Structure 1
């Protein structure tokens, strides 16, 4: 897992679980590097106890980096996606 870069806003894991970039296997990822996002837009999901928990951006910005590999376990408050200000 990579670290968030100072000056960027990190979208963080709301719970402990498994990180997924897409809503289901074979589907397009929610976001890719370079995409513009708006507040409330889904950027990933974290699965915990067979429940899929949507992770949303809390601000507008451009996706600068995806910090976690698909299917990787994540901890509470771990940075998942870095956003540059829009």
Structure 2
């Protein structure tokens, strides 16, 4: 059990522990497909993980499978963290 909380090297990345959060679609994006306050709060609540694999994104509006999922951002649209 102790090894779970030890640092671990994953390629070039040094993880603070071996806890990994798998990707899940959490529907935390704004109506515009941008990560917003809810996404920031959600991932902020999981900062004890050694690695967080974030949720998938749709390639365009037409490829959106669920409401409030994140869009693949190719532009310089302001996101919650970059306003």
Length-normalised TM-score, structure 1: 0.25
Structure richer in helix, relative to its length: 2
Higher relative contact order (CA 8 A, sep 6+): 1
Where is the strand percentage greater, Structure 1 or Structure 2?
1
The structure having more radius of gyration, on CA atoms, is: 2
